[in-house]
Amino acid sequence: MKGRWSSAILAVLLCGVCARAAAAPESPRLAALKSALESGRTEALGEFWREVERKGAPLVEPVRGDEQNLLVTFLRRDGAAGKFIAVFPFARVNPLPHLFARLEGTDLWYRSYRLRRDARFEYLVAAEETLAPFAAREPADAGGWLADLRPDPLNPRRFVEPPDEEKPGESEYVSSVVELPGAPPQPFVREREGVARGRVELIRYGGGTAGGGRRVWVYTPPGYSASGPPNRLLVLFDGWGYTHAIRTPTILDNMLADGAVPPTVAVMIEQKERLKELYLNPSFSDFVAGQLVNWVRGRYNVTRSPREAVVGGLSLGGVAAAYTAMRHPEVFGGVLSQSGAFQYRPEEPDRLIRQFTKGARLPIRFYLEAGLLEVNETPSLLHENRHLRDVLEAKGYEVTYSEFNGRHDQVCWRGSLSQGLIALLARP
């Protein structure tokens, strides 16, 4: 019975795939190509692929009568007749409704989405010979689609996260990037000629070897002096990522050159056991606010005012930042949370949002942000960040809240980090 039921479902799914292949493309450019081929202009396909080679993919086209959205069509060139292709993250929860269609009689596969014109996100593509990988209960297991994700070979726009030089066998992480014309500018993320650079020092905190100490990257601004007015203090979790992928030192160099923030010392901390340390861990938060900050104050010319000290992080690091400041408002008066994973373990009776709901208001300011495409869980990350914002504002906290049209991506966070720094560090 089970085998017959599975076969019936597969037959229905395959019929759906066939129906999508036969339907007229929504993309005007693909509709024109289809019409040209049907009229006998066989050279039109080669012309189309040469155009894609020059301009890259995906196709981005206006939607008639819709000024807010654009039609984004992802492409794949593959001559195989039986192919199952999907773009992630769109297909993350259920890949089957997101499978590409094939332009009949060609090697062109496509899938269109209407996206708001300010979208920016990373994506990967999986191309499978059968539906089985997309139907896997656990995508990360053997035979699941996760192992087959690759950058889009037709899209030259990439985000590259370099490998950690101290993790043998780790390779760089490469994803493809969509940036629509209305995506907000990211003026501070690239190195500029003529801009003075601060110094980044790698310190083995608590030990002198790779295995013994915790890596801490400390950024001191251009012109840093051990005397004179103290610098602002910025402490960030997931130190390797903030240092090398998001490139916080470059962002601070450019912001300081533009006068967007005052001189700031940034301390970027490595996690030894990420989940254990960053999720509501009192001993780790006490270590950061106590031992580590005291060590920083003894070594660098930084503020002792909580109003001028910010703790921040991304995803679970955003949760840890809010939790650390809640436990130690006498040290950190600012919380910078980028896509904070406040939806994690929603069933827990004492999760962080409930603690802020029940507790007294503290002298903390918040910068919270979340992506409009971060909606894969229930409750979603987006929903829970809005929930936390509402709770904090109802309690009388000062909150700067921002939403970007993207997902859980470094390519988004590197641009919006400057917004959080301006909100929390720029004012006295």
DSSP letter string over 215-269?
EEEEEE-TT--SSSSPBEEEEESSHHIIIIIS-HHHHHHHHHHTTSS--EEEEEE
| Residue range 393-402: mean pLDDT, rounded | 98
Instruction: Note the pLDDT tens digit of each residue in 332-370.
Output: 999 999 999 999 998 998 899 999 999 999 999 999 999
Q: Beta strand pairing status for 232-236 and 264-269?
A: parallel
Evaluate if residue 4 carries a pLDDT over 90.
no
- 374 within 8 A of 412, measured Cβ to Cβ: no
Distance CA 333, CA 364 (A): 4
- Ranking 87-101, 151-165, 195-209, 232-246 by mean pLDDT, the lowest is 195-209
Confidence class for position 207, pLDDT limits 50, 70, 90? low
How high is the pLDDT of residue 82?
A: 84
- 170 within 8 A of 50, measured Cβ to Cβ: no
Give 305's DSSP letter: -
Domains of the chain: 2-179 (2.60.40.10), 199-425 (3.40.50.1820)
Evaluate if residue 275 carries a pLDDT over 70.
yes
How high is the pLDDT of residue 23?
A: 65
- 3-class DSSP assignment, residue 26: coil
- 155 within 8 A of 176, measured Cβ to Cβ: yes
How high is the pLDDT of residue 138?
A: 87
How high is the pLDDT of residue 145?
A: 93
Distance CA 254, CA 400 (A): 22
Neighbours of 71 (CB within 10 A): 20
| Residue range 320-329: mean pLDDT, rounded | 98
Instruction: Note the pLDDT tens digit of each residue in 21-63.
Output: 446 799 999 999 999 999 999 999 999 999 999 999 999 999 9
Q: The pTM is what? A: 0.92
Percent of the chain with pLDDT over 70: 93
Average pLDDT score, the chain = 92
Percent of the chain with pLDDT over 90: 85
How high is the pLDDT of residue 18?
A: 44
| Residue range 179-184: mean pLDDT, rounded | 98
Name, in order, each residue with C-beta under 8 angstroms of 21's C-beta and a sequence gap of 6 or more: 101, 102, 104
Instruction: Note the pLDDT tens digit of each residue in 125-174.
Output: 999 999 999 988 889 888 899 999 999 999 999 999 999 989 888 899 99
**Cα dihedral sign, 38-44-46-49:** negative
